[in-house]
Amino acid sequence: MLTSVLAAAVLGQSPIKDIAFTARFYTGGADKARSELYLVKSNGTGLKKFATSSAPIDVRWAGENRLVWLSGDEASKTLWTSKLKPWKPVKVGSSSAIRAEDSSERKAGPGVAVYLFGDHGQEIVIHPETGKSSPWNTGKNEAQDLFLENGVHTFRMQEYTVQETMIQGPDWQIDGHELRVRPADTVLTFVDYVEDPVGGAMQSLWEWKGRGKPIKVFTDVNTFDYWQGRDVFAATTPQKSDRLGETEIFVNQLLFGRISKLPAKPVLDSKMLATSVSIRP
């Protein structure tokens, strides 16, 4: 594994990563295919499906060898977990008021599976070894949500001062958008979040290191796995209409990229609808 990582670094390529994701694959006449839980390498090889008793809708890593996922709908959701080996899904809990941290609100680093549970949004974390849940304290790196209005709007984060005019451009429409800022020691992350009635959430992300122009990491994705200081990231694109024979289906793409070598590229060439993605830490 070390050899492949070093070789990738020498060649300027992204190290191969394991990606967990939930998706519905459309093959043949299976227009009613169920959402499933998968693992695939970032170069598109080694696709593997994990057996689940109900359709998963969101997956996260807890450490390097455990997956945590949600199944269900708005009326009732169930949180599950299992180590990769042996694969034995265990129910953590059920509630209508449980959800994973939203991509743009994420406060936990890679391999930390945090969920909001209950009517008051209690934060719980899943232990990588035992699979048990316990309360979680966000500590540092809490996200701050800001709404930017027209005109020059200046805000301060730690020792940095940022003006909205610094990140305006042909791909940036500030009116009515919500800018979410995530502080770290060496980089600020800007997430532009817009609800789209057809494709779902449309999110764009920039990195700014305190000087110069911000780096546009990606634009108009639906969900993503990104963390400050980590070079790799993954995302799912908004859904769009497609055809499977005479049947209309909705599909999107699973992307993987490296911030030091943009843009991101599709991982798989398949008719599928991916709903979540998480990179193995």
Classify residue 263: in a domain, yes or no: yes
- Closest of 274, 245, 251 to residue 28, by C-alpha: 245
In the prediction, which pLDDT does 166 show?
Answer: 39
Q: Is 229 inside a domain boundary?
A: yes
DSSP 8-state assignment for residue 172: B
DSSP annotation of 10 reads: H
Estimate to the nearest angstrom the gap between the alpha carbon of 247 and the chain centroid. 29
90 domain residue, yes or no: yes
Question: Is 201 inside a domain boundary?
Answer: yes
Q: How do 114-117 and 122-126 pair as beta strands? A: antiparallel
Residue 203, both tokens: 């999110």
DSSP 65: S
For 63-120, write each residue's pLDDT tens digit.
999 999 999 887 789 999 999 999 999 999 888 888 887 776 677 788 989 888 876 6
Phi/psi for 87 (5° steps) reads -85, 105
* CB distance 121 to 106 below 8 Å: no
State the Cα–Cα distance between residues 113 and 281, nearest whole angstrom: 11
Residue 267 structural domain: 14-279
For residue range 51-60, list pLDDT tens digits in order.
999 999 999 9
Percent of the chain exceeding pLDDT 70 equals 66
- Cβ 205 vs Cβ 189: under 8 Å: yes
Could you tell me if residue 7 is inside a domain?
Answer: no
Residue written as token pair 């709903």:
275
Instruction: For residue 192, tell me if it sits in a domain.
Output: yes
What is the pLDDT, as a whole number, of residue 15?
Answer: 80
Query: For position 131, which CATH number holds?
Result: 2.120.10
| End-to-end Cα spacing for the chain | 14
**Least trusted range by pLDDT, from 31-40, 170-179, 217-226:** 170-179
In a domain, 246, yes or no: yes
Averaged over 35-54, what is the pLDDT? 96
Give me the number of domains the chain comprises: 1
Amino acid at 123: E
Q: Is there a domain that residue 8 lies in?
A: no
Structure tokens at 43: 């170069």
